Amino acid sequence: MTDRKIALVTGGSRGIGLCCAKELAAAGCDIIINDICAQEQAQPALDEIKALGVNAYFYSFDVSNFEAVGENVSKMIENHGKIDVLINNAGITKDGLFVRMLPEQWEKVININLNSVYCVSHHVIKHMMKARQGSIVNMASIVGVYGNPGQANYSASKAGIIGLTKTLSKEFGSRNIRVNAVAPGFIKTPMTEGLDAEKIAQYISLRRLGETEDVAKTVKFLALDADYVTGQVIEVDGGLTI
Ligand code: NAP
């Protein structure tokens, strides 16, 4: 077993998740990335992380499948001994106006964005409790705080994550486990590719969309540095919502 901290990042093969994994690797953590894709597709991400001088591992499973998460977390503990840091990052959108929103559109987003945080945290936190230490950072969104037309499913999932973050911080604080959330605004990733960046930038104090690094630096701060911070939601939105 390594002396380094081990961080598990869900949805970590691209976008914000990969950037968080690299930021934590640069800070000296060994990294486990999860994604729903095959090993082959995650290999470039693994190579990028390993190039930072740490160990990197990949586990393919659906974060919203309670049994699959349980089996994979058990394998991780068997193979690597511990999980010090958990970044619940995996997420999707299936936008549409509420009156036209189909049950499957609602359920899929709630499952993958919110139920997944229950599934992964439930299995990982048992091991953090035994270790009497741990840090969890959940990926929320500003729309979970302020709402957004056309994103009833997504904003409800992210608001749920915020409630869950606060409750877990209270339930597990006495075990030295911190639970925080980051609420990004508009960040340049495949998820926001279709948006009119120039138009949106007019409403942002810093006049630009965020980079994945902007989120990853805040995630790293909460995960590794902020020893006396728990139950907090930090908005990383360039001043969009003030
Ligand atoms: P992204 O580029 O689409 O990455 C999401 C990752 O999650 C992908 O690697 C995806 O895998 C993975 N994933 C999806 N379903 C999964 C499942 N069932 N099990 C395991 N992994 C799964 O999105 P992103 O923009 O980086 O977003 C990352 C997080 O930040 C999300 O929670 C998102 O809601 C949040 N966020 C993003 C923004 C933004 O502006 N981009 C703003 C606020 C919050 P595949 O590639 O295999 O599908």
Residue nearest to atom 27 of ligand 1 (CA): 16
Q: What is the pLDDT of residue 221?
A: 98
Sign (positive/negative) of CA torsion 24, 66, 117, 197? positive
State the distance from the centre of ligand 1 to the C-alpha of 155, rounded, in angstroms. 14
Nearest to 68 by CA among 115, 110, 132: 115
Q: How confident is the model over 25-62, as pLDDT tens digits? A: 999 999 999 999 999 999 999 999 999 999 999 999 99
Atom in ligand 1 nearest the alpha carbon of residue 13: 9
**Which spans in 173-236 are helix H?**
197-201, 212-220
Mean pLDDT of 3-28: 97
**Which spans in the chain are helix H?**
15-26, 39-50, 66-80, 103-109, 116-131, 143-146, 152-172, 197-201, 212-220
Mean of pLDDT over the chain: 97
What predicted TM-score, i.e. pTM, was given to this entire model?
A: 0.98
Residue nearest to atom 17 of ligand 1 (CA): 62
Residue nearest to atom 8 of ligand 1 (CA): 11
Nearest to 186 by CA among 170, 173, 202, 162: 202
Paired sense of beta strands 30-35 and 85-88, if any: unpaired
User: Which position has the token pair 């000296």?
Assistant: 28
State the distance from the centre of ligand 1 to the C-alpha of 115, rounded, in angstroms. 14
Element (H or E) spanning 185, and its range?
none
Nearest to 87 by CA among 176, 228, 218, 185: 218
Active site residue ranges: 154
Q: What is the pLDDT of residue 229?
A: 98
